[in-house]
Amino acid sequence: MAKTVIIEEPGGPEVLKVVDREVGEPGPGEIRIRHEACGLNYIDVYQRTGLYKMEMPHALGMEAAGIVEAVGEGVTHLAPGDRAAYASAPPGAYCEARVMPATQVCPLPEAISFEDGAAMMLQGMTVQYLFHRTTPLGPGDTVLFHAAAGGVGLIACQWAKSEGIRLIGTAGTDEKCRLAEEHGADTCINYRDADWVQKVNELTDGKGVQAVMDGVGKDTFMGSLDCLAPLGMMMSFGNASGPVPPFEIATLGAKGSLKITRPTLFTHIADHETCQEMARMLMEKVGSGAVKIRVDQRFPLDQVAEAHRALEARKTTGSTILTV
């Protein structure tokens, strides 16, 4: 048996329940993993509230790290006793142990702690695809990154700096702006106190940025389009402030033949080899010290509702984990 967080209906943090569930044995293509730490991400909120639909009841959580206890037939990249970490569907990572598909579970080097492993996989591989698999970006390019002091944002600030890319961030407080700049942002704008669109255009001498990486959604979407250079790429990868409302596609032409994508990590990691390659690049960045994972909040598994409340209230910085 393993303590597991489930929801029986969509709703607020109060719908999160901790129950005992039987774990069982892995079948073909599966592993059983005992967790040391679990990651907390905004996708968990989307699933809990019903923005992302799931059959009920359902376990929650997309990310964790721990020790492989058993492997099923056909699993060759992992063995019992291996340290491992993952960001993977289906949801169910908020637990002490689980049986799950092995495809997106990745070996975790000894040099990387379980806490860092649990905090970095979903956010870090998201940054990897934003910078390497979405539009060509390289030294000398400038990107705008919203919520630059969050878990994804602080990884992105460091990643950009390690590759010679100028990152302009936004955040909601001066303290968060300083944090983003300490982690490699060229500049971070407090969007509550400044006309951030005007500021971005001033910082780019009116040329705009090559790409916007926007996990905020409704509140920043239209302003982000106004920050792009002609032929620039809008990457709308999250909805922290709510879904982006409908807009006229002709707007993209009028604003400079802009490009737009709504990517998800789980499309990028669906292929086993691609997932493992993305994870290796992330682990090399972390292992070399180019990217440091900042875990600023820790909650016991049975306090998962409080963790969700803190995340939704934007009271968190860096990454948040659940301890098992």
Average pLDDT over residues 258-272: 97
Tell me what the mean pLDDT of segment 105-109 comes to: 98
What is the total count of domains within the chain?
Answer: 2
How many other β-carbons are positioned within 10 Å of the β-carbon of residue 266?
Answer: 15
Q: What is the pLDDT of residue 135?
A: 97
Does residue 130 lie in a domain region?
Answer: no
Residue where one domain finishes, among candidates 210, 231, 262: 262
Domain extent for 162: 135-262
What CATH number should be reported for the domain holding residue 12? 3.90.180.10
CB 270 within 8 A of CB 245: no
Asked if 82 contacts 102 with a C-beta cutoff of 8 angstroms, the reply is no
pLDDT band at residue 318 using 50, 70 and 90 as cut-offs: confident
Q: Say what the pLDDT of residue 15 is.
A: 98
> What pLDDT digit, counting tens, does each position of 152-177 carry?
999 999 999 999 999 999 999 999 99
Q: Name 81's Cβ contacts closer than 8 Å, sequence gap at least 6.
A: 67, 68
**Among 160, 191, 163, CA closest to 177:** 191
pTM equals 0.93
At 249 the pLDDT is 96
pLDDT band, residue 193 (cuts 50/70/90): confident
pLDDT confidence of residue 282? 98
Rounded to an integer, what distance in angstroms lies between the CA atom of residue 225 and that of residue 304?
A: 36
Look over the chain and give the mean of its residue pLDDT values, rounded to a whole number. 96
Q: Are residues 210 and 142 in the same domain?
A: yes
pLDDT at 303: 98
Residue 246 class from Cβ within 10 Å (0-12 exposed, 13-18 middle, 19+ buried)? exposed
Q: Does residue 30 register a pLDDT over 90?
A: yes
- Say yes or no: 156 and 202 in one domain: yes
Single residue among 244, 262, 280 that ends a domain in this structure: 262
